[in-house]
Each structure stands twice: as structure tokens, then as C-alpha cells.
Amino acid sequence: MICHAVIPLKPLARAKSRLSDLLTPEERQDLVRSMFLRVLGTLVALRSSLLAEVWVLTRDPEVQDLATLHGAPIIHDQAEDLNAALAQARATLEDRGAPAMLVLPADVPLLSAADVATMLELLAQTDVVLVPDRHGQGTNALALHLPCRLPFRFGSDSALQHQAAAAALGLRCTILTSPTLGLDVDDAASLAAYRGVGFGV
């Protein structure tokens, strides 16, 4: 399954606001930048094998420069929020005839090549693959065949929201739990877990 990965990233200066009590603005930006580069590095290493392309969805000029340094094309985020930005990115991929889309946020730094391979293996047998966060509530990754009408429902309880939206469209949704991809760093506990494995500011 040749797939296009999309990494959405909001402006660094606004990222990880939930960590503002713990980290200074500079520490937050360093954390987000380092996590993004880990995710980007993992994915660009899979181009020409599992992935046809790795796109970075952002409006932040620094993030665009980092993506370009890694040979990743930009989708300039012109939307109001994450779900609208992902819909914009999906339209771009569909216009290019991409057969599948893999959404991987920039805050899942333990992402492994095996995670990507497993998601794409599962996608060959289903309509949607969803990786929930470690609590089973958020959505840490989503793989779709294109074209696809599934609405993006990132936000609170998004794992259930995406499953319900898939069911409403008659789409089969396969859940993949992963100890690596299941960790998104967005609060004190997940930051401690990330630091516990030897990373993170």
C-alpha cells in the first residue's frame, strides 16, 4: 500500500499550551521541535518503501524550513483548526490521486517504522485504521483510503468520535493499539513517560 503521510504541526510558539505550567515557552518550542524532527525522520526514512511522500501541514515558516531541509513538501495550512486543516490536506492529496493518507501528529515521538508498517498492512484489509492514545481516548494516528468522506474529529474523545463517524458512513474501522505510537506528549504525565524513556527536555 503506497501511502502519503501528513504531519500536522501548529505554529511552534502556540504548540503544547497544556504544558505551559511546566515548561517555559522556549522549553515548549524545543520539545515540540525535537518531537517533530523525530516523527519526520522516522517517516522520511520510509519513503520509497512504505510511503510515497511525507507532507508537513503547517503555517509556521520555521517548521516549513525544517521540512524542506528534510525534503518533505509543505501543505500550507490555511484553515481555522486541525480538523479543517486535515480536510484541506486530504483534498490536496486527492487532487494528486494519492491512494491513501496516513495522519501522524508531530507529538508522537516514539513512532516506529513497525507502527507504520502495521498500520498499512491493516489498511489493506479495512477502510480506516485508528491508533488511539494510551488512554484509549485520543486519536494518535489515522490511516484512510482515498478518496474518503470520513470527517476529521480530532479533539476530545476523538477515538470514539472517529469510530462513530466511520460507522455512520458504513466504513470498517480497525483499531491498532501501540505502546510506541500510543504515547502523545501533551501533559505532565505523558511528558514524564517520554522523559522516562530517555528523551524530552
Ligand X SMILES: C=C(OP(=O)(O)O)C(=O)O
The residues of the shown chain that bind ligand X, judged by CB under 6 A, are 133, 138-139, 154-155, 158, 184, 186
Using the rule CB under 6 A, is 38 a contact of ligand GTP?
no
What's the grid cell of residue 151? 470527517
Of residues 83-102, those binding ligand GTP (CB under 6 A)? 85
Cα 1 to Cα 15, 82, 104, 201: the distances in Å are 32, 26, 17, 36
What's the grid cell of residue 32? 515540540
**What angle separates helix 25-44 from helix 113-123, to the nearest 10 degrees?**
60
Which of residues 10, 145, 153, 162 is near ligand GTP by CB under 6 A? 10
Q: How far is the CB of 105 from ligand GTP (least distance, A)?
A: 3
Find which of ligand X, ligand GTP, none residue 148 binds, CB within 5 to 8 Å per kind.
none
130's CB contacts (< 8 A; 6+ apart) are 139, 141, 142, 143, 159, 162, 163, 173, 174, 175, 176
Q: How far is the CB of 107 from ligand X (least distance, A)?
A: 7
Find which of ligand GTP, ligand X, none residue 139 binds, CB within 5 to 8 Å per kind.
ligand X
Three-class DSSP category at 128 = strand
Using the rule CB under 6 A, is 18 a contact of ligand GTP?
yes
Q: Which residues in this chain contact ligand GTP in the complex, by CB under 6 A?
A: 8-10, 15-18, 57-58, 77, 81-82, 85, 105-107, 186
